[in-house]
Amino acid sequence: MTIKAPTLNVGGLGADPLEGRIKEKQEKWRYKIAVLSGKGGVGKSTVAVNLAAALARKGYFVGILDADIHGPNVAKMLGVEKADVLAERLEDGRFEMIPPMSDFMGQTTPIKVMSMGFLVPEDQPIIWRGALVTKAIKQLLGDVKWGELDFMIIDFPPGTGDEILTVTQTLQLDAAVVVTTPQEVALLDTGKAVNMMKQMNVPYVAVVENMSYLICPHCGNEIDIFGKGGGKRLAEKEGVDFLGGIPIDLKAREASDNGIPIVLYEDTPAAKAFMEIIDNLTAKLGGNEEEEKGE
Report yes or no on 241 lying in a domain: yes
The total domain count for the chain is 1
What is the DSSP secondary-structure string of 20-75? Answer: HHHHHHHTTEEEEEEEE-SSSSS-HHHHHHHHHHHHHHTT--EEEEE--SSS--HH
What is the DSSP secondary-structure string of 65-111? Answer: EE--SSS--HHHHTT-TT---EEEE-TTS-EEEEPPEE-TTTTSSPE
pLDDT at 15: 46
Higher-confidence residue: 2 or 78? 78
How confident is residue 261, by pLDDT bands cut at 50, 70 and 90?
very high
Scored b (16 or more CB within 10 A) or e, 252-268 reads beebbeebbbbbbbeeb
pLDDT at 124: 87
Query: What is d(CA 238, CA 234) in angstroms, rounded to the nearest whole number?
Result: 6
**Domain span including residue 36:** 2-7+31-288
User: Over 50: is that where the pLDDT of 33 sits?
Assistant: yes
Nearest CA among 162, 125, 141, 270 for reference residue 209: 270
CA 31 to chain centre: 12
User: Under a CB-based contact definition with an 8 Å cutoff, are residues 115 and 75 in contact?
Assistant: yes
Instruction: Please report, for the chain, how many H helices and E strands are present, in that order.
Output: 9, 12
Report yes or no on 20 lying in a domain: no
Q: Residue 159: in which H helix or E strand, if any? A: none
pLDDT at 2: 61
Report yes or no on 12 lying in a domain: no
Report yes or no on 153 lying in a domain: yes
Mean pLDDT of all residues in 41-65: 96
Higher-confidence residue: 221 or 171? 171
Convert the pLDDT of each residue in 75-109 to its tens digit: 999 999 999 999 999 988 889 999 999 999 899 99
How confident is residue 277, by pLDDT bands cut at 50, 70 and 90?
very high
Mean pLDDT of all residues in 16-41: 92
Report yes or no on 193 lying in a domain: yes
pLDDT at 6: 57
Q: What does the mean pLDDT of the chain come to?
A: 89
pLDDT at 206: 98
Mean pLDDT of all residues in 203-229: 89
How confident is residue 252, by pLDDT bands cut at 50, 70 and 90?
confident
pLDDT at 249: 86
Give the CATH number, domain containing residue 248: 3.40.50.300
Report yes or no on 126 lying in a domain: yes
The pTM of the full predicted model, rounded to 2 decimals, is 0.89
Report yes or no on 55 lying in a domain: yes
Query: What is d(CA 270, CA 211) in angstroms, rounded to the nearest whole number?
Result: 10
Report yes or no on 23 lying in a domain: no
Torsion of CA 163, 34, 139, 53, to 10 degrees: 140
